[in-house]
Amino acid sequence: MRSDVLIPVTDTSSIGEARRAVLRVAEAAKLSETDAGRAAIVASELATNLVRHAKPAGGLLLIGADAGGGAVEMTSIDTGPGMGDVARCFQDGYSTAGTPGNGLGAVRRMSEEHDIFSASSGTVLWCRIVAGGASRTAALPSRAPRSSGLSVPAPNETLCGDAWRLTRAEDGRVSLMIADGLGHGPLAADAAVAACQAFDAAPFASPGALLEAMQAALSGTRGAAVAVAQVDPAAGKLTYAGVGNIAGTLIAADGSSRGLFSHNGTIGHLVRKIQMFDYPWPPDGLLVLHSDGLQTRWVLSKYPGLARRHPAVIAGVLFRDFKRGRDDSTVVVMASAPSGP
Ligand SMILES: [Mn+2]
């Protein structure tokens, strides 16, 4: 999981701020000095690119780490003008601003994974720096679901009242949870953390059993909206249970989508019914879960090519274009097929 720091990048002073922020995150994630140094170079290059190219308002840099440490991720987000030729922009020496174009080449060389989506509506570039330079996801079986997400506190809050978890089993199954503590700030975060603790205790208990356990665990908190999704790729099955306002959408390869059903209520307080639903897990599909910090009116097919990008890039685009901007925002995306080409 990631819990992200959001840095608005507007002018050159943001570049140092981005460097300092990523060094703090890298230290908390227990990265070595060498790996933290790589992350700082990448942060500088991403921020420099935003200052140079993201017109007129600048962009955003999200910096996060895996919950257990060991990896740092950055997502650079802007609203335009977009890169005409993404492949060339990724090569060292190419620049449209008449300056040495080292930035994106450095991102490519210094991260273990990266991906980009660029259109006239803007660019989202994601990269992941793993301790020791080892790529964890490269070791996944080729049909294992790819996933990523982001979680950003409401404006003027340092603690995020949303939280998410994702756990993989040896046999390829994935268990995923999003919790949105009521309101925002520290009391919302308390509820979300309690949901994470209940999830961590038995991540592959059934979604219904997990919500029941959370109903007890969150009774002394403000309560939360929670959804749990478990995917069994070998069985081609998604099992889902939700209470409250977490939006779940399953998108098939042809772009058709269906909403996943949650009952009304608040985990920890009034819950009328906890119910599990099974859905077919599509062979080339996507699962998108998000908190109500995002609007629900997005349509992925309006972004040609986006559905095949890395889940982190999809999450970044949805955050950029649909965040409400007054609440914690969390988006998690899981893809049943590898991204690419
Ligand atoms: Mn919320």
Residue 319 contacts residue 152 (beta carbons within 8 Å) = yes
pLDDT tens, position by position, 217-226: 999 999 999 9
> How far does the centroid of ligand 1 lie from the alpha carbon of residue 319, in Å?
14
> How far does the centroid of ligand 1 lie from the alpha carbon of residue 39, in Å?
31
> How far does the centroid of ligand 1 lie from the alpha carbon of residue 292, in Å?
5
Q: What percent of the chain has pLDDT over 90?
A: 73
Hey, CA dihedral for 60, 308, 111, 120, is it positive or negative? negative
> How far does the centroid of ligand 1 lie from the alpha carbon of residue 255, in Å?
27
First to last CA, the chain: 25
Q: pTM, whole model, 2 decimals?
A: 0.93
Residue 35 has pLDDT above 50, yes or no: yes
Q: CA angle 45-49-50, nearest 5°?
A: 120
Q: Hey, what amino acid is at 96?
A: T
> How far does the centroid of ligand 1 lie from the alpha carbon of residue 141, in Å?
35
Residue 108 has pLDDT above 70, yes or no: yes
Report the relative pairing of strands 122-130 and 71-78 from DSSP bridges: antiparallel
Buried b (16+ CB within 10 A) or exposed e, 102-113: ebbbbbeebbbb
Cα–Cα dist 149/330, whole Å: 7
> How far does the centroid of ligand 1 lie from the alpha carbon of residue 174, in Å?
24
Supply the Cα-derived Rg of the chain in whole angstroms.
19
> How far does the centroid of ligand 1 lie from the alpha carbon of residue 66, in Å?
22
Q: Hey, what amino acid is at 195?
A: A
Residue 294 has pLDDT above 90, yes or no: yes
- Write down all domains in the chain, each with its CATH number in brackets: 5-136 (3.30.565.10), 141-335 (3.60.40.10)
> How far does the centroid of ligand 1 lie from the alpha carbon of residue 78, in Å?
24
The structure tokens listed for 193 are: 């953390």
Residue 93 has pLDDT above 60, yes or no: no
pLDDT tens, position by position, 237-292: 999 999 999 999 999 988 899 999 999 999 999 999 999 999 999 888 899 999 99
Q: What is the pLDDT of residue 200?
A: 96
> How far does the centroid of ligand 1 lie from the alpha carbon of residue 181, in Å?
7
Give the pLDDT mean for 51-74. Answer: 89
3 state DSSP class of 7: strand
In sequence order, the 6+-apart residues with CB closer than 8 A to the CB of 35 are 26, 72, 129, 130, 131, 132, 133
In sequence order, the 6+-apart residues with CB closer than 8 A to the CB of 34 are none
Q: What is the pLDDT of residue 22?
A: 97
pLDDT band at 100, cuts 50/70/90?
Answer: very low
**Residue 91 CB neighbour total at 10 angstroms:** 12
Residue corresponding to tokens 């003027």? 156
Residue 83 has pLDDT above 90, yes or no: no
Mean pLDDT check: name the lowest of 31-35, 91-95, 106-110. Answer: 91-95
Give the pLDDT mean for 55-67. Answer: 88
Q: What is the pLDDT of residue 89?
A: 65
Residue 252 CA neighbour count, 13 Å, CB half: 8
> How far does the centroid of ligand 1 lie from the alpha carbon of residue 180, in Å?
5
pLDDT tens, position by position, 3-18: 799 999 999 999 999 9
Residue corresponding to tokens 């987000």? 77
pLDDT band at 109, cuts 50/70/90?
Answer: confident
pLDDT tens, position by position, 160-187: 999 999 999 998 899 999 999 999 999 9
Residue 90 has pLDDT above 60, yes or no: yes
